[in-house]
Amino acid sequence: MFRSKDDEGWVYGAEGVYRRTLVYGDKTMLTEFKLLKGHVLPAHKHPHEQTGYLVSGKMILYIGEDRYETNPGDCWMIPGDVTHYADILEDSLAVEVFAPPREDYRPS
Protein backbone atom coordinates (compact mmCIF):
# COMPACT_ATOMS: atom_id res chain seq x y z
CA MET A 1 0.00 0.00 0.00
CA PHE A 2 1.24 3.50 -0.84
CA ARG A 3 -0.23 6.91 -0.09
CA SER A 4 0.88 10.27 -1.44
CA LYS A 5 0.80 13.30 0.82
CA ASP A 6 -2.65 14.89 1.03
CA ASP A 7 -4.94 16.44 3.63
CA GLU A 8 -7.95 14.15 3.23
CA GLY A 9 -9.56 11.45 5.32
CA TRP A 10 -9.74 13.16 8.72
CA VAL A 11 -12.30 11.60 11.08
CA TYR A 12 -13.71 13.11 14.27
CA GLY A 13 -12.47 11.14 17.30
CA ALA A 14 -13.52 13.35 20.22
CA GLU A 15 -13.84 17.08 20.83
CA GLY A 16 -10.57 18.60 19.54
CA VAL A 17 -9.25 15.21 18.39
CA TYR A 18 -9.12 14.11 14.73
CA ARG A 19 -7.47 11.07 13.19
CA ARG A 20 -6.82 9.58 9.81
CA THR A 21 -5.49 6.21 8.85
CA LEU A 22 -2.56 6.64 6.47
CA VAL A 23 -1.63 3.06 5.51
CA TYR A 24 -2.11 -0.41 6.95
CA GLY A 25 -1.30 -4.05 6.35
CA ASP A 26 -1.94 -7.34 8.08
CA LYS A 27 0.28 -6.58 11.10
CA THR A 28 0.55 -2.79 11.50
CA MET A 29 -1.39 0.43 10.91
CA LEU A 30 -0.01 3.98 10.59
CA THR A 31 -2.35 6.71 11.85
CA GLU A 32 -2.02 10.49 12.14
CA PHE A 33 -3.68 12.50 14.92
CA LYS A 34 -4.52 16.21 14.90
CA LEU A 35 -5.00 17.37 18.50
CA LEU A 36 -6.29 20.87 19.29
CA LYS A 37 -5.03 23.04 22.14
CA GLY A 38 -7.12 23.05 25.31
CA HIS A 39 -8.78 19.68 24.68
CA VAL A 40 -8.27 16.26 26.23
CA LEU A 41 -7.73 12.98 24.47
CA PRO A 42 -10.12 10.97 26.68
CA ALA A 43 -8.83 8.09 28.82
CA HIS A 44 -9.14 4.78 27.02
CA LYS A 45 -7.44 1.45 26.44
CA HIS A 46 -7.42 -1.19 23.73
CA PRO A 47 -5.64 -4.49 23.09
CA HIS A 48 -3.33 -2.98 20.45
CA GLU A 49 0.27 -1.99 21.11
CA GLN A 50 0.66 1.69 20.20
CA THR A 51 3.93 3.42 19.28
CA GLY A 52 3.87 7.19 18.74
CA TYR A 53 5.96 10.18 17.71
CA LEU A 54 5.08 13.84 18.35
CA VAL A 55 5.69 15.77 15.12
CA SER A 56 4.65 19.18 16.46
CA GLY A 57 2.97 20.77 19.46
CA LYS A 58 3.04 19.94 23.14
CA MET A 59 0.95 17.73 25.42
CA ILE A 60 0.98 15.89 28.70
CA LEU A 61 0.69 12.16 28.01
CA TYR A 62 -0.49 9.78 30.72
CA ILE A 63 0.33 6.10 30.29
CA GLY A 64 -0.94 3.99 33.17
CA GLU A 65 0.34 5.72 36.33
CA ASP A 66 3.10 7.63 34.47
CA ARG A 67 3.00 11.26 33.28
CA TYR A 68 5.15 12.59 30.41
CA GLU A 69 5.51 16.15 29.15
CA THR A 70 5.94 15.62 25.41
CA ASN A 71 7.61 17.94 22.91
CA PRO A 72 8.31 17.60 19.18
CA GLY A 73 10.59 14.64 18.54
CA ASP A 74 9.51 12.73 21.65
CA CYS A 75 8.18 9.21 21.21
CA TRP A 76 6.38 6.57 23.26
CA MET A 77 5.14 3.00 23.33
CA ILE A 78 1.89 2.05 25.04
CA PRO A 79 1.39 -1.66 25.72
CA GLY A 80 -1.99 -3.18 24.93
CA ASP A 81 -4.71 -2.88 27.58
CA VAL A 82 -3.03 0.03 29.41
CA THR A 83 -5.17 3.11 30.09
CA HIS A 84 -3.82 6.29 28.50
CA TYR A 85 -4.94 9.88 27.78
CA ALA A 86 -3.48 13.30 27.04
CA ASP A 87 -3.93 16.95 27.96
CA ILE A 88 -3.28 18.94 24.79
CA LEU A 89 -1.29 22.09 25.63
CA GLU A 90 -0.68 23.29 22.04
CA ASP A 91 -2.12 22.34 18.67
CA SER A 92 -0.30 19.07 18.04
CA LEU A 93 0.32 16.51 15.34
CA ALA A 94 1.25 12.94 16.27
CA VAL A 95 1.91 9.86 14.18
CA GLU A 96 1.22 6.44 15.69
CA VAL A 97 1.58 2.80 14.72
CA PHE A 98 -0.89 0.21 15.99
CA ALA A 99 -0.15 -3.51 16.07
CA PRO A 100 -2.18 -5.36 15.16
CA PRO A 101 -4.18 -2.91 13.03
CA ARG A 102 -7.30 -1.48 14.64
CA GLU A 103 -10.38 -2.69 12.81
CA ASP A 104 -12.30 0.40 13.98
CA TYR A 105 -9.71 2.65 12.26
CA ARG A 106 -9.86 0.93 8.85
CA PRO A 107 -11.24 3.27 6.20
CA SER A 108 -14.68 2.27 5.01
Confidence check: pLDDT of 89 > 90: yes
41 close to 14: Cβ distance less than 8 angstroms: yes
**In the structure, how many helices (H) and strands (E) does the chain have?**
0, 8
How much is the pTM?
0.94
Q: Is residue 65 part of a domain?
A: yes
Q: Is residue 36 part of a domain?
A: yes
pLDDT in tens, 3-23: 999 999 999 999 999 999 999
Q: Is residue 3 part of a domain?
A: no
Which CATH number characterizes residue 51's domain?
2.60.120.10
Confidence check: pLDDT of 108 > 90: no
CA-angle at 21, arms to 60 and 103, nearest 5°: 100
Q: Is residue 78 part of a domain?
A: yes
